[in-house]
Amino acid sequence: MMSFQPFQLVVQASGETTLITAGMPGPAGANGLGVPTGGTTGQALVKNSNANNDTTWQTVATVGVIIQDSATQTGSTWSSSKIQTQLDTKASSTHNHNTLYATLASAVPIGGTTGQVLTKNSATDYDDSWQTLINASAEFDLTGVSWNSGTPPATTGSLRGRFVTMGALVALSVRLEYEGATAVSNISCSIPMDGQFPLALEFAGVNAANEVIVPGIGIISTSEAATTSTNSSFVCIRRNPNNNGQEIFIRSSATAALKFASAMLLYRKA
């Protein structure tokens, strides 16, 4: 096996003699010339100066994102706000985009509950919120029901309504039941919507009294049991002739002692 022995080097300069004793590099795996001992996990070997083999083990700190400027080829550390500014400027000037990159904090609102959806509140950028897509109302008493004669079938009755909203759509149902009461001969009834149901979206120019806004389906009869017989009826949301508001209007095909009415309408809310 070949081995290396220490050697001596004699240097003479200006009449002086200097004796230098040095060793040859050790076998593979041993510390070589210029690699200091010590150091800890994760440290890097760093030059202390331009001199050969002048190195030491040092901890290198992570200082942020290094952005290389293509114009100046100069490395610099930028904050997140500076990076955002540069992205926006690049989008606007270089790529001719009118809309800049969105700041993530303003793009998606916080909060919300399970099952809600992100919904636009207006046409303004980032004006959005978490909303429940489907809302169902509990059954409630209807008020302000009137008949064409001005006199209801009885002073008491079961007058009920409910509705479900699905985004901008509304499905509502009503039930007027005066069973067991003395009926008065009538042909139609109306139910004001203000404060009880979401108002319907109107077509342009629909503003005169009694104009139909949305047609629906339903029945009006002398009793609940008589609904199995042929009894043509008409149901709609229309303009109220008294205050120009909106109302549900149910009309029978002929005058009779009407005591029961039921209607369902599907429409887009205002």
pLDDT tens profile 119-136: 888 888 878 888 877 788
The residues, any chain, with a CB within 8 Å of residue 70's CB and separated by 6 or more, are none
Q: How far apart are CA 270 and CA 244, in angstroms?
A: 16
Helix segments in the chain, DSSP class H:
80-89, 104-107
In the chain, what are the domains?
81-131 (no CATH), 136-268 (2.60.90)
Identify the three-state secondary structure at position 248: strand
Q: Which residue has the tokens 């041993």?
A: 30
Q: Which residue has the higher pLDDT, 212 or 79?
A: 212
Q: What is the pLDDT of residues 190-242, one digit of tens each?
A: 999 988 999 999 888 887 888 999 999 999 888 888 876 666 789 999 998 77
The residues, any chain, with a CB within 8 Å of residue 29's CB and separated by 6 or more, are none
Residue pair 161/140 in contact (Cβ under 8 Å)? The answer is: yes
Q: Answer yes or no: is pLDDT of 18 > 70.
A: no
Spatial CA neighbour of 250 closest among 230, 268, 232: 232
Residue pair 194/245 in contact (Cβ under 8 Å)? The answer is: yes
